[in-house]
């Protein structure tokens, strides 16, 4: 059994539980590491970034592009089901999350600035081994991210395609 996993991911993030006219969406990329002390349990941590989720804001004085991004740092555990047909793996996970909303050019006129918050996440995944030695894997991972900045509740749904190497 390979104990270490490094994954690169790319996908899409959508804000949920908000008016769809104001919900933010963003392309997302990420990098994660997992360590398996036992066959069916993995500790994982990583970093993901959602680019340009905010819209361009306009008023009578002109338009403003916040050049923003969300940075998510999840850390938790993943429960892994036994292999199906020696190639397919299913998993469920969750735990803590640090979210940072980062604005490159903050603007007081629109009350937009960088902020950080804590929360949690839940994930499910399905991956398929690409080779006989089961070193290279490809899969999909949907996640629900729950962050709680002051006076707000941010809820996100993200789905990514993941390419993993295990050693």
97 pLDDT more than 70:
yes
Reported as a pLDDT band with limits 50, 70 and 90, residue 61 is confident
User: What's the pLDDT score for residue 128?
Assistant: 98
Residues in the chain: 167
- Asked whether the beta carbons of 73 and 45 are under 8 A apart, the reply is yes
Q: Compare 52 and 160 and report the one with higher pLDDT.
A: 160
Q: Which of 118, 155, 142 is nearest to 12 (CA)?
A: 142
**With pLDDT > 70 as the criterion, what percentage of the chain qualifies?**
96
φ, ψ (nearest 5 deg) of residue 50: -105, 120
CATH level 2 (architecture), domain 4-166: Beta Barrel (2.40)
Reported as a pLDDT band with limits 50, 70 and 90, residue 114 is confident
User: What's the pLDDT score for residue 21?
Assistant: 67
DSSP state of 107: B
Q: What is the pTM of this model?
A: 0.90
Mean pLDDT (whole number) for 19-35: 88
Reported as a pLDDT band with limits 50, 70 and 90, residue 93 is very high
User: What's the pLDDT score for residue 94?
Assistant: 97
* 129-166 exposure pattern, b = at least 16 Cβ within 10 A, e = fewer: beeeebeebebebebebbbeeeeeebbbebebebebeb
- 19: which residues sit within 8 A by CB, 6+ positions away? none
Domain ranges of the chain: 4-166
Q: Other CB atoms closer than 10 Å to residue 94's CB: what's the count?
A: 18
């Amino acid at each position: 059994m390979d104990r270490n996993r490094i994954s690169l991911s790319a996908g899409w993030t959508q804000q949920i539980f908000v008016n769809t006219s104001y919900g933010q969406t963003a392309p997302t990329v990420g990098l994660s590491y997992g360590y398996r002390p036992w066959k069916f349990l993995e500790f994982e941590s990583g970093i993901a970034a959602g680019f340009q989720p905010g819209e361009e804001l306009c008023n009578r004085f002109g338009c403003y592009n916040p050049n923003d991004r969300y940075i998510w740092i999840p850390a938790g555990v993943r429960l892994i089901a036994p292999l199906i047909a020696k190639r397919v793996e299913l998993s469920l996970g969750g735990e803590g999350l640090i979210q940072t909303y980062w604005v490159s050019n903050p603007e007081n006129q629109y009350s937009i600035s960088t902020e950080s918050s804590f929360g949690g996440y839940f994930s499910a995944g399905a991956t398929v081994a690409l080779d006989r030695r089961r070193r290279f894997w490809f899969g999909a991972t949907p996640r629900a991210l729950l962050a709680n900045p002051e006076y707000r509740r941010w809820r996100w749904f993200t789905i990514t395609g993941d390419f993993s190497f295990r050693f």
